[in-house]
Structure formats: C-alpha cells, structure tokens
Amino acid sequence: MQDVLNGLRSGRTCYTTNLGAQVAGDSLELLRQLPANSVDLFMTSPPFPLLRKKAYGNEDQKDYVKWLTKFAKLAKVALKPEGSLVIDIGGAYQQGEPVRSLHQFRALLAFVDDLGYFLAEEFYWYNRSKLPSPIEWVNKRKWRAKDAVNTVWWLSKTERPKADVGQVRVPYSKSMQQLLKDPEGYYTPKARPSQHTIGKAFGVDNGGALPSNLLDIPNSQSNDAYLRILKELKLSGHPARFPLKLPAFFIEMLTDPGDLVVDFFSGSNTTGRVAENLDRCWLSFELDPGYAALSAVRFMEGQKPETVRLAVQQIENGTTLSLQEGSTQLSLDAS
C-alpha cells in the first residue's frame, strides 16, 4: 500500500493508519495514478442522482452514467486480473413524475458493454430502516411503495475473479439448527416437488449457511463510534453513510488479509475502517477535504473529545497525521 500511496502525485494525504491512508483530492486524477494491476477490490458507493441536491454533490440524472463510467474505466486498469469492483447504487424517481430512473441499470450496461467488465453477480441491499421517499409519491399520494432496496453490482475484470462465499456464512435458521441437533430424527431425505433430492449431507454443520444475494442490513445505527464522537464534538458528519456490514461482506468474500481495498467515493470512510478491522490494506479518496478530515474520527475511538477535535483541525489545516492504533496515546505529530 505504501508504494502505491507514494506514487500518487496529486491529492493530499490527510492521515495514515497501520494499514491505510485517507487522501483528499479528485478521484479521477488519483485513479489515473494507481499502478496497473495493483488493486484487489474497489468497494464504493457513488453519490446518487437524486432530484434534491445534497451537500455532498450528487450528479444530475441526465449526466450520471457518463460521469460514473469515467471512474469505472480507470478502476479497471488498476484492478488485478482476479480483482473486483463492487458498486452500491441507489434508485431515484424522474423529475416530477412517479416513474423510476433507470440510471443504475444503464450504468451496469455501460460497464459491461462499453468497458468490458463482467457482471459476477447482482446483489440487492435491503435497508429496512430506510425512510419513505419521495414524500410526494409515497407519503402524500400513496401511489408508490417505499423504496428500500439498493442495487449492488459485483463486477470483475475476468470471468473468474477471486472469491470465497464460505467466508461470509450467515447464522442457520431455527429449523436448520434443530436438524443439525438430530439429522435422522428431524428430517428424512426425499425428493422435493421440484424433483431435487436433498441427501444426508444436508445435515452437516458447516459453521453457517451460505448467504443469498439479498443483503438484509439495516442502516439505522445512531450511536456507532463515528456518530457518537461527532455528537460529543457537536459536529455534523457525512449525510450518506453505508453500514459497516455492507463493505465487510464483500471485503471478506473477495479479498484476503494484506490485499489492497480502495474506495474512490469514501465519504465518512466506512470502507477504510472495515478494511483496517479485517487486516486489509486500504486507500480512500474523497473530493471534499472537510469530509476527508472528519473521517479521521473513525480511527480515534477512546480518545478524549478535545484530542479528536485538535486532530481534525490539524488535518483541515494541512497536517498529515499518523493515527497508529495499539498505543495508549495518540501521536499528533505530522508525518
């Protein structure tokens, strides 16, 4: 990771950790400077083309696919042959009408048809805590149901990217737990109406069930370390954060410890925090220097509020901090 970081000629490194670095700068320029075949996984969530403009700079619907394709094209060059690009894209309605935009599907077709990516698998992130929107069509007129699913495209450079779904097993259902306690007494092998036969091997405990491509992950955490620290400092964080479990799923499934994970729309740097937790190297790129500086709080849990405030201020003023974990005192010396 350090060699890749040293090769970046633009942007400003806000802080480094044991395994990664947050860089503030234009992601298009930074992606151009990544060495070819150097990244194991791009895990990101771009600004969505929402009708109401957000503080973090979401793009207009009509220009969205062309804009997003520029990033995906550069990412493909930097990916290792067995690497993956995972991109979370939420839906939206067209201006003034209860009709859905097709931007996320058009983006997928552009990635595959124009850039040469392969669609390894489509995932759907079910966020049961998502607020009903848009208000006009859901709350007021009651013409549409609540939009609670984001599309997550798992794209790859080759037909057979590195992956191990066994690393992301989920807890067994209650009925499966009963079966594992007494396979012969609970279940007799037989053919289903579909003519599929389930044999005795079905009763083997593999440590969990294989997951589906519907990811049921609520985004309702209101007191995680990031938000808790910002609340203590009376500061507002990035308004569009995905939950830790979403990048964790793909990082665990698609990479090994020591691999390099890059997020080129890092926002509050959820991806970097998860990568660090999972012993992966990481780089995060964020255009807004304020959000990039504020994301340092993800690596400062347990520090006094004034220490955190000072660190963020130093980063905002141009200092590159070393936020090394595992020590009792945080070093605020410039690196």
SS (H, E, C) 32-77: HCCCCCCEEEEEECCCCCCCCCCCCCCCCHHHHHHHHHHHHHHHHH
> CB neighbours of 86 closer than 8 A, spacing ≥ 6?
41, 42, 43, 44, 152, 153, 154, 155, 250, 254
Q: pLDDT tens, 80-122?
A: 999 999 999 988 888 889 999 999 999 999 999 999 999 999 9
Catalytic-role residue among 46, 47, 161, 247 = 46
How far CA 26 is from CA of 285, 286, 292, in Å, comes to 8, 7, 12
Q: pLDDT tens, 233-257?
A: 877 777 667 899 999 999 999 999 9
* 118 neighbors 184 (Cβ within 8 angstroms): no
The answer to whether 45 is a known catalytic residue is yes
* 222 neighbors 243 (Cβ within 8 angstroms): no
Q: CA–CA separation, 151 vs 159, rounded Å?
A: 21
CA-wise closest residue to 89 among 122, 56, 130, 128: 122
The answer to whether 333 is a known catalytic residue is no
pLDDT more than 70, % of the chain: 86
CA-wise closest residue to 227 among 245, 249, 243: 243
Confidence band, pLDDT 50/70/90 cuts, at residue 194: low
Q: Phi then psi for 180, rounded to 5 degrees?
A: -70, -30
Catalytic-role residue among 40, 88, 259, 263 = 88
Q: pLDDT tens, 37-73?
A: 999 999 999 987 744 444 434 455 778 999 999 999 9
Confidence band, pLDDT 50/70/90 cuts, at residue 221: low
**275, pLDDT greater than 80:** yes
Q: Domains of the chain (ranges plus CATH)?
A: 2-166+210-224+241-295 (3.40.50.150), 171-209 (no CATH)
* 264 neighbors 285 (Cβ within 8 angstroms): yes
Amino acid 95: pLDDT: 83
The answer to whether 132 is a known catalytic residue is no
Catalytic-role residue among 27, 38, 45, 101 = 45
**331, pLDDT greater than 60:** no
> Is the Cα dihedral 133, 212, 89, 238 positive or negative?
positive
For the residues 175-191, what does the mean pLDDT come to? 69
